[in-house]
Amino acid sequence: MTSSTAPIRVLIVDDSAVIRGALGRIIDAERDMTVATTAPNGRLALDALKHTKVDVVLLDVEMPEMDGITALPRILSGYPDTRVIMASSITQSGAEVTLQALALGAADYITKPAARSGSSTLAAMQAEIVAKVRAIGRAAHGRSARLGTGAASKNTAGTAGGTAYTPPSALLASKHGNAAPRVLTIASSTGGPNALAEVLSGLPSDFPLPVLITQHMPAVFTGLLAQRLERDCGRPCTEAVDGEPILANHTYVAPGGFHMIVRTEEAKPYIQLTVTEPENYCRPSADPMFRSVSSIYGASTLAVVLTGMGDDGMRGARAIHERGGRVLVQDEATSVVWGMPGAVANAGLASAILPLSAIAEAIQASCGVPV
């Protein structure tokens, strides 16, 4: 069996035997994944990794002897091909610790099933767990296969969807024209918090454009994400509020549970939050944001699609593309999961496919901001 078809091997780390059993049944029910082993704490998880090949670790946060936050950097440094998904509770403290884990290098997080969860809640959790383990595990398999065959792993090479890597200095000559961007809008999901921090911290503190962000996260998390981005980037960044005006040099994060769209009143743009149906199984979803931004800003829209599973943002990117705006996407080599950016690239909608480290420079080049 080749690495691309081998089952995704999962290590489950949780001090509760009930939770280990529940997660194990979810994993083993899938034909393309299997529980490699389990451990009740971080210390024993590290011992297990010495003897067992693992693609994905489902890692609890609070455990005796060694908790998840302590174990995480040790797992990532000792087993760099292994991806870690944190198992988190949706609470203020759980969200804070989870964002800390993501900053330390965790690929994503899942909502840990509670002992008294109802059947509908458990079904939603099961779908989330399976989707994330599958997407992250397959991406890990694909990276291992590329490196194992000696394929190019440098971030400045390669093509996708007919669009080659474009040096940031060449972006002003884009085939989409030279309309000066008046807004920057960004979509991200799996791996997004760290990618957002890297891109936004690479922009100058006086970066003039307003920035609108849709990151797939629950309500408790998005406010904390905005706080982190403000600390990292040195510019105002807040969770968006319904009806507030869109200001230059300000970053707005769509709140969990709401789509964030742009409206105008007396030619002045403002934010509207809606609870219309989820799109691409998401709310917030990037597609409504991209569509509304393109309808207001037209060819002066600059969009970025960062790492994430699924294809949210692809249809909205088409609207931006058709109105003459530009869409930059993160490349596969630097994405945790090349779902969202890959969908845009493979649809032929990407103005450029760039390694994460080059995106801030590309944004500045597109805007005529000195690098």
One DSSP character per residue, 194-248 reads HHHHHHHHTS-TT--S-EEEEE---HHHHHHHHHHHHHHHSS-EEE--TTPBP-T
Q: In sequence order, what are the beta bridge partners of 88?
A: 111
> In 306-364, at which residue ranges do the beta strands (DSSP E only) sit?
326-330, 352-354
Query: Is 176 one of the annotated active-site residues of the chain?
Result: no
Q: Report which residue type is found at 82.
A: T
Query: Is 189 one of the annotated active-site residues of the chain?
Result: yes
Which among 355, 361, 295, 357 has a CA at the least distance from the CA of 158? Answer: 355
- What tokens were used for 231? 């600390």
Among 312, 321, 335, 366, the active-site one is 312
Which among 263, 341, 355 has a CA at the least distance from the CA of 304? Answer: 341
Among 141, 216, 259, 321, the active-site one is 216
Question: For the chain, first and last CA: distance in Å?
Answer: 48
Q: Report which residue type is found at 239.
A: E
Q: How many residues make up the chain in this entry?
A: 371
Tell me the angle at which helices 314-322 and 286-297 cross, rounded to the nearest 10 degrees: 10
Give how far Cα 198 sits from Cα of 27, 66, 232, 254, 315, Å.
33, 29, 9, 19, 25
Task: Tally Cβ neighbours within 10 Å of residue 205.
Answer: 9
Q: What is the rounded CA–CA span in Å between residue 340 and residue 5? A: 22
Query: Is 51 one of the annotated active-site residues of the chain?
Result: no
Among 88, 188, 189, 292, the active-site one is 189
Which among 224, 205, 179, 200 has a CA at the least distance from the CA of 304? Answer: 200
Enzyme catalytic residues = 189, 216, 312
